[in-house]
Amino acid sequence: DKEKDETAEVEISAEEKTDTIESVKPAEEVTTEKAPQVETEKTAANAAEDTKPKNTKTVVTFKLEYEPSSKDRQEKLYELLNASSRKKAQAIESLRKSAAAVTRARPKPTTMATADGSAVKAGFLNKKKPVAEPMFLKRWYDRFLGPQSMCRMLFPIAKNYIVFFGAVSLMHFKGHELALPAPV
């Protein structure tokens, strides 16, 4: 018996798009059933309230915030990239056309008569002097005793090992000479 007709007005606001639905749409009819109750005495005021039809208008406001997903952002960036690529291609094409027009309009320069066609040989400024090989002693010194040689690099590391194994071998082979004399 108790059916309600409800109408809703919905406002949706978003960061990027704000759409307002101004039309009022009727909501679904809601049916409720009550368990049977024993009737008690009703006052005249209560009876009058129960007989009035209940038509209420409900206004519902929603606030929605829209954040685009990474895929949506990527698609938007691709669209911007494609637009800028088209503009770039058009600019390059216009530059090519204007460069072609300029080269056609320019008068041809007179050529000088030379034997091989060029006044100067290509690469004449880039010539390098041959490097003389150092003497044998200098090469030997650099390889074995110089500041960047293997001996100078390894000596600080190997020094402690050399001292240790030298002392062990001295005690092993000449230990009898290092011993204390016999008691008198």
Is 25 strand, coil or helix?
Answer: strand
Distance CA 9, CA 22 (A): 7
In 10 A of CB 1, how many CB atoms? Answer: 6
Tokens representing 174?
Answer: 């000449």
The pLDDT profile of the chain, 184 residues, written as one tens digit per residue, is 433 333 333 333 333 343 444 444 444 444 444 444 444 555 555 555 556 666 788 888 988 888 999 999 999 999 999 999 999 999 999 999 999 998 888 777 655 555 556 777 777 777 777 888 889 899 888 888 888 888 888 899 999 999 999 999 999 999 888 888 888 8
pTM for this prediction: 0.27
